[in-house]
Amino acid sequence: MTTGISSLFLESLTPGRVALAILVFTVSSFIVDFTWKPRYPKSLPRVGYGDGVVGTVRNWFGYMVHFNAWVDEGYDKYSKKGRAFVVPSAPSRPQEIVVPRSQTAWLLEYPDRMVSAKESHRDLLYNDYQFFGVDDHFPIMTLHKHLARNLVGLIPDVQDEIQGAIDTTFGTDTENWKSMNLWEAWLGIVPRVTNRILVGAETCKNDEFLMSQVAFADVVVRNSFVLNMFPRILHPLVAPFIVLPNRWHWYKSHRVVKPVIEQRLHHMAQKAAGNAEYEQWEPEEDMITWLIRQAYNDGLAEELSASMISKRLLPVEFAAIHTTVITGHSILLDLLSSDPSQGYLDILRDETTGVLGEEAGCWSKNGLSRLHRTDSAIRESMRISHFATGLTHRKVIAKEGITNTAEGWHAPCGSYLMLDMAGIHRDGDIYENPDVYDPLRFSRIREEYKARPQEEKRDPAEALRVQRLGMVTTSDEFLPFSHGRHACPGRFFVAHELKMILAYLLQNYEIKPIAERPKPLWIGQTIIPPVQVNIEIRRRKGSGKARRHNDNEQ
């Protein structure tokens, strides 16, 4: 009897019926998903294809290619007039309310228990699946507490690692020009340098570890695009399969770093226990040590395992590698495609050479802070070559929602709000000639102010404005590191890292200019850099021998 029923059932599964069932299930999933999303008041203007059924479906497909154009349209129509607007999002995500610059303080002053950056980032990157349910709160808190206080002492090690990584990546041939893929070159530098302060001097040179971390960062971005297109109700079914590469890349990196972490755990435990043998021993100052130290301070025994620590490294690795490589790649593209007659490369080379000479060849925090033109060139590239439409996102988690005091609209629980970084950075009312890369834009203001007579410098507000033109200073006009209390905690390290990389490159290598800056591709809110660009480079004669700490001598 059972066999007969099974046979009848299998016979009824014609291709047409199976396809129809899949279609009905998929459509039903989108409908259920749609009913869960927050509803925004009609008083908020919309961009895109509209709110009806047809408009909503068209918005889902249009999101991938039209998102930036929609936000640009809304910025000109509404944001510049102090009004918020609603922009379509991917199928799995609610639409977002784009808050105008004039309301930045209103948005960012909300407490985390009402409007959450953490929950927004968690949803944006699908942390529960991609990072195995281990959120980034603990490592970010650890960075806030330990990175700044140790940064000065880490600069010599970072300088040494930069020089070794660049020599290895670009070579030391002073006679022949070498054609190199610029994207691959940055991937040869940034992961190694960044991991000097994350996993220490030994592991940061391990190719298997570095390749695994780069691959992990790549699949996080790719998987975010894929999961964006699935209704959330299906995520528990499809996400575990989509993120299988994440687990593989984590496992490969964990296999390398596990002995290092276990040894560090053992030595720090022995020292904490008062073992006389470890009384004089001091751990290497890196992220592994900081995570262990913070776990001890907070009494979090569950954090003290090699597996957990290597997972805590993942969101930091992702943020540090992904964003810094894109930023560095953009800086060189912007500089190399600038008018060669302006001599920008020579200007930056002269500045870095002069300051490094004053520092006796070893960078310090003070010396790096005096690189005003180099800082300006990097800040200007971050302004004009942003890699996302917006990096300041918030999710309303207060059950009662929040009410906008300027316009009166209400955002219910589950709403998403964002600041339009791209529109602000390209606003001609804020920046003169906003679409032109001017590497000396910010240093010129500093120099003009410095050259003025002392009696003309009595306005403290103007003095403060000039002082706040550094690349690490966030504001409602400069948002690459976000803004407010959740601004990127690693931005001070990134500033030092990029300045030292640029300084060493310009002092020790010649790079041919490129005729035109290649345009990136945008998918949704995120940039796809022009990764196929090659540059012509060779070692400068008389720049000195390769560093003694190169890979062949480890």
Tens of pLDDT, residues 455-473? 777 777 777 788 888 999 9
Cβ-based neighbours of 349, under 8 Å, separated by 6 or more: 506, 507
Cβ-based neighbours of 121, under 8 Å, separated by 6 or more: 127, 136, 393
Q: Is the pLDDT of residue 260 over 60?
A: yes
Mean of the pLDDT values across residues 431-450?
93
What is residue 551's predicted lDDT score, i.e. its pLDDT? 44
Confidence band of 8 (pLDDT split at 50, 70, 90): low
What is the C-alpha separation between 376 and 356, in angstroms, rounded?
Answer: 18
Both structure tokens of 234: 């299906």
Both structure tokens of 29: 């999933």
What is the C-alpha separation between 243 and 219, in angstroms, rounded?
Answer: 8
Whether the Cβ atoms of residue 331 and residue 501 lie closer than 8 Å to each other: no
Q: Is the pLDDT of residue 336 over 90?
A: yes
What's the whole-model pTM score? Answer: 0.91
Cβ-based neighbours of 228, under 8 Å, separated by 6 or more: 63, 90, 91, 92, 93, 524
Q: Is 488 annotated as a binding residue?
A: yes
Whether the Cβ atoms of residue 386 and residue 422 lie closer than 8 Å to each other: yes
Whether the Cβ atoms of residue 402 and residue 115 lie closer than 8 Å to each other: yes
Q: Is the pLDDT of residue 77 over 80?
A: yes
